[in-house]
Amino acid sequence: MIEGLNPVNMIDNVISMHMQSLCCLDLNLCKKYFDIWHEAGCKIIVKASHIADAKVAADAGCDVMIVKGWEGGGHVTFEATTVLVPQAVDLLGGSSTYGSGFP
């Protein structure tokens, strides 16, 4: 499920595409498209509301992970950002993991 998709932008010679919030990611599709986007010079930044989706995106090769809890605007999760961030850091490492939607 993709809640919102903004057009592809070119900012300082870096290609950027923003997807608001993702749910139910498929590992094979992520690998396919992440590889295509990486070959085009894109950095893959994923905003996930479930730890399972964060794991899929990380396994597929995303560059940056943003986790967002229920208090971040009524998205598709039942966990708070304060719960998701430690899970994501434990799972993915902290250097490219961020939280979004803190109260």
pLDDT tens digits for the chain (103 residues)? 344 444 455 555 555 555 555 678 889 998 998 999 899 888 888 888 888 888 998 899 988 888 888 876 655 678 888 888 888 888 877 668 888 765 5
Q: What is the pTM of this model?
A: 0.73
- Please report, as a single letter, which amino acid is at residue 78: F
Measure the CA–CA gap between 63 and 16, rounded to whole angstroms.
Answer: 13
Do 69 and 49 contact (CB within 8 A), yes or no? yes
DSSP state of 71: G
What phi and psi values does residue 22 have, to the nearest 5 degrees?
Answer: -115, 150
Q: Which residue has the tokens 């590992």?
A: 27
